[in-house]
Chains A and B, each alone.
Chain A
């Protein structure tokens, strides 16, 4: 047993010395390899964490949201739909939602403006999310807005409507409230010249969860211009949100993978004459085929394992300690308001195992297989050269 372990250590020693001979190239390979693992792992971690977060936080999202389409565009929903929908069997309650997007030209930010019943008796007051409180105008010093501060809004007539901040949503809730501005119904209608008798969409509560689809179908039949969105749809949206098949991620991944394949190319296409000569020498001085193959295994495994651990660790730091800094330019895009939150770390052994198999195994195999033939040459070939 001790001998077996010592043999491993010895062969690993030689393999590492051997890798160090082509330091530059192997270092480049390691860096690219680590990058590939880093990207894959980052996306995996981000997607998993968001999935979990969404599943937990959106668990009680409305059963059904009813929208209306006119000429393929999302349109306002007449409030009289409320009564007709409320009469459908299985529907427990129907409520209109008034909300929209407000573009603040002074700061360049876009808010999600919502009517809240809590502010019904407080016209002129608003509740804002963390991202809104960080609002700043160009040339102005940044100062977080708090209770008592006044935000200037432009109403539909072009006049100014100042609204006073009555409270700020807690920082821990930014994941859902970052860009929210809650207003009273009066202020909402004034800001948007929102027509009476209309709502942005309707919230429907269903008695029995299993009946959601049936009720949705009934609503569609009742109002053919309506478009119901089920809670299941909402939750599934977040299960798939950062699918690796999405646009930019595929490109970046493909690029990194290509770089990796190029560097690993000479491994996969078989051994150079120099390497074959060295294997011949090893066999001549007493190494068996299994010793040579073990060396080749370690050659691949050493690089893959390093890249795996480095890549995974860096990905963890990236996603959970820097809030996916590298993805921010993509998620933020042209917008001004960007939410600030720390995702709860979500890493599972199963995920890591899959990542391990996807990243470590192929390269290690690619290093051993081409060496098979050379490893089995007769030891006397070196003598006869």
Chain B
């Protein structure tokens, strides 16, 4: 007797749930495995007094977003935000947004 559609679907759903479970397990395991590496990175940050993660080396405002001010992109080029793709993905840091600037 051929497998019923419903049973196949149920199997697929079960697989889906299983995969989600695996993702959660992977998260927990990786966290533990990466602990040493994380500590190493943290130590380097402290020793070298670093302030940002290196996510891109395209422009100043996206390489060191926490140190950028509102005008930093424009120091690169007046049309900076338009021309640099990384700026289109990364968002203005909270402390640069209007109500924060008034500080």
Q: Do A and B come into direct contact in the complex, CB within 8 Å?
A: yes
Give the B-binding residues of A (Cβ under 8 A).
8-10, 12-13, 16-17, 50, 53-54, 56-62, 65, 67, 69, 72-74, 95, 97, 101, 109-112, 114, 116, 129, 131, 169-170, 172-180, 182, 201, 203, 227, 229-230, 233-234, 236-243, 245-249, 302, 305-306, 308-310, 312-313, 316, 320, 327, 329-339, 344-349, 352
Are A60 and B60 in contact, with the CB atoms below 8 A?
no
A247 touches B50 (CB 8 A): no
Q: How far is the CA of A157 from the CA of B15 in the complex (A)?
A: 65
Docked pose: A187 CA to B100 CA in angstroms: 38
A344–B89 CB distance below 8 A: no
Question: For residues 47 through 103 of chain B, which have their beta carbon under 8 Å from a beta carbon of chain A?
Answer: 48-60, 63-67, 69, 71-72, 75, 83-91, 93-95
User: In the bound complex, do residue A338 and residue B56 qualify as a contact, i.e. CB atoms below 8 Å apart?
Assistant: yes
- Whether the Cβ atoms of A237 and B4 lie closer than 8 Å is no
Instruction: Choose one: A62, A333, A338; the contact of B51 (CB below 8 Å).
Output: A62
A240 touches B94 (CB 8 A): yes
The answer to whether A73 touches B71 (Cβ under 8 A) is: yes
Contacts A176-B41, A243-B91 known; list 10 others, CB within 8 Å: A12-B5, A50-B55, A60-B42, A175-B41, A229-B66, A247-B87, A247-B88, A309-B13, A333-B86, A346-B27
Tell me which residues across on chain B come within 8 A of A67, comparing CB atoms.
67, 69
Set B6, B38, B58, B84: member contacting A56, Cβ < 8 A: B38
Known contacts being A72-B71, A240-B94, is A233 close to B57, with CB within 8 Å? Answer: no
Q: Mostly helix, strand, loop or mixed at chain B's interface?
A: helix
Find out whether the CB atom of A330 lies under 8 angstroms from the CB atom of B85.
yes
Q: Pick from B40, B48, B86: contact of A330, CB below 8 A.
A: B86
A333 touches B85 (CB 8 A): yes
CB pair A333 B42 closer than 8 Å: no
What separation, in Å, do the CA atoms of A74 and B69 have in the docked complex? 8
Binary flags per residue of B1-19, CB closer than 8 Å to A gives 1, else 0: 0001111011011011101
Cβ of A180: which chain B residues have Cβ within 8 Å of it? 48, 54
B89 touches A327 (CB 8 A): yes
Q: Are A233 and B95 in contact (CB under 8 A)?
A: yes
Q: Tell whether A57 pairs with B45 under 8 Å between CB atoms, given A13-B4, A17-B5, A177-B54.
A: yes
Contacts of B56 in A (CB 8 A): 331-333, 335, 338-339
Q: A131-B54, A179-B57, A338-B56 are in contact. Are A241 and B90 (CB under 8 A)?
A: yes
> A331 to B67, Cβ gap below 8 A?
no
CA distance A241 to B67 in the complex (A): 13
Residues of A contacting B49 in the complex (Cβ-Cβ under 8 angstroms): 61-62, 95, 97, 203
The size bracket of the interface on B is: 35 or more
Identify the 9 closest CB pairs spanning chains A and B, nearest first: A309-B16, A333-B85, A246-B91, A247-B88, A16-B5, A237-B93, A233-B95, A335-B58, A237-B66
Chain B residues with CB under 8 A of A330: 85-86, 88-89
* Nearest CB in chain B to that of A10: its residue: B6
- Say which residue of A13, A59, A240 sits within 8 Å of B91 (CB atoms): A240
**A58-B51 contact in complex given A233-B95, A309-B16, C-beta closer than 8 Å:** yes
- Chain B residues with CB under 8 Å of A174's CB are 54
Q: Is the CB of A173 within 8 A of B85?
A: no
A241 touching B91, Cβ below 8 Å: yes
Cβ contact within 8 Å between A345 and B88: no
CB contact under 8 A between A333 and B12, given known A173-B40, A345-B26: no
Partner of A234, one of B17, B30, B48, B52: B52
B65, A237: Cβ atoms under 8 Å?
yes
In the bound assembly, the distance between CA atoms of A242 and B93 in angstroms comes to 10
Closest Cβ–Cβ distance, residue B43 to chain A (whole Å): 9
Cross-interface CB contact of B53 among A101, A175, A312, A338, cutoff 8 Å: A175
* Closest B residue, CB atoms, query A101: B60
Residues of A within 8 A of B58 (CB): 331-335
Report whether A334 and B85 are in contact in the complex, using a CB–CB cutoff of 8 Å.
yes
- B61 CB to closest chain A CB (Å) equals 11
B95 near A237: Cβ-Cβ < 8 Å: yes
Shortest distance in angstroms between B79's beta carbon and chain A's nearest beta carbon?
13
Return the contact of A176 from the options B17, B53, B65, B94 (Cβ within 8 A): B53
Q: Are A316 and B16 in contact (CB under 8 A)?
A: no
Would you give the shortest CB distance from A322 to chain B, in whole angstroms? 15
Cβ of A331 and Cβ of B72 under 8 Å apart? Answer: no
Measured CA separation A175–B60 after assembly (Å): 16
